[in-house]
């Protein structure tokens, strides 16, 4: 049975700054608990190593849909890890941004299923969003940017910052979780793409 976690926060930076920083997937270990490393393989593919409650997972994730300053959707491509998610960005004011995150995964094994049952994954996602808020508000500027668009898993426009962006998806509940530069698709959860609807 799949588990879905949603969380949201507001950050005191412009929407472009928040979005651009989120697309720097390799910076995720700075604010995402359990994420050991994220390596950007190309504009739409990332490789994750996560460790949650002593369970280590390694997987690839693809950005399925992405629109600058609006959303990033992703999904895992590794058979052993079933995970997908979407992060949406909305300007509240010129210097404040609303971030809403939805993650869905399939817990495996006793430790992951127990964590999901106890809602430990919900707490982890909320902590990670809070850490992202602290991280970007302290910096007040993004560490890089990727302004390309992705639809149906295919890049449709070049990013102004080059291939330094990423996608979202990291390990929650021993699986994958959120956070990066490329967008998700829609399949009923969040957004306008076939993997996630917002």
Hey, what domains does the chain have and what are their CATH numbers?
3-157 (3.30.530.20)
Q: What is the pTM of this model?
A: 0.70
Q: What is the mean pLDDT of residues 67-80?
A: 88
Please check the confidence at residue 4 and state whether its pLDDT lies above 80.
Answer: yes
The DSSP-derived string for the chain is --EEEEEEEEESS-HHHHHHHHT-GGGGGGT-TTEEEEEEEETTEEEEEEEETTEEEEEEEEEEEEETTTEEEEEE--TT--EEEEEEEEEEETTEEEEEEEEEE---HHHHHHHHHTTHHHHHHHHHHHHHHHHHHHH-S-S-----EEETTEEEE--TT-S--------STTS-----SS----SSSSSSSSS---
User: Residue 40: pLDDT above 70?
Assistant: yes
pLDDT value, residue 153: 66
């Amino acid at each position: 049975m799949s588990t879905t976690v949603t969380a949201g926060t507001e950050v005191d930076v412009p929407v472009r700054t928040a979005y651009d920083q989120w697309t720097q997937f390799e910076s995720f270990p700075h604010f995402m608990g359990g994420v050991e490393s994220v390596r950007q393989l190309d504009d739409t593919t990332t490789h994750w190593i996560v460790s949650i409650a002593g369970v280590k997972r390694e997987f690839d994730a693809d950005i399925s849909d992405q629109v600058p300053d609006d959303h990033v959707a992703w999904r895992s491509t590794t058979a052993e890890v079933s995970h997908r998610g979407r992060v949406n960005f909305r300007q509240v004011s010129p210097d404040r941004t609303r971030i809403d995150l939805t993650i869905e995964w399939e817990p495996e094994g006793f430790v992951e299923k127990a964590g999901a049952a106890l809602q430990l994954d919900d707490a982890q996602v909320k902590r990670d969003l809070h850490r992202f808020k602290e991280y970007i508000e302290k910096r007040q500027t993004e560490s890089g940017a990727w302004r390309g668009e992705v639809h149906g898993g295919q890049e449709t426009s070049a990013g102004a910052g080059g291939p330094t962006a990423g996608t979202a998806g990291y390990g929650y509940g021993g699986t994958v979780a959120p956070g990066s530069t490329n967008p998700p698709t829609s399949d009923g959860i969040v957004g306008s793409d076939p993997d996630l609807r917002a």
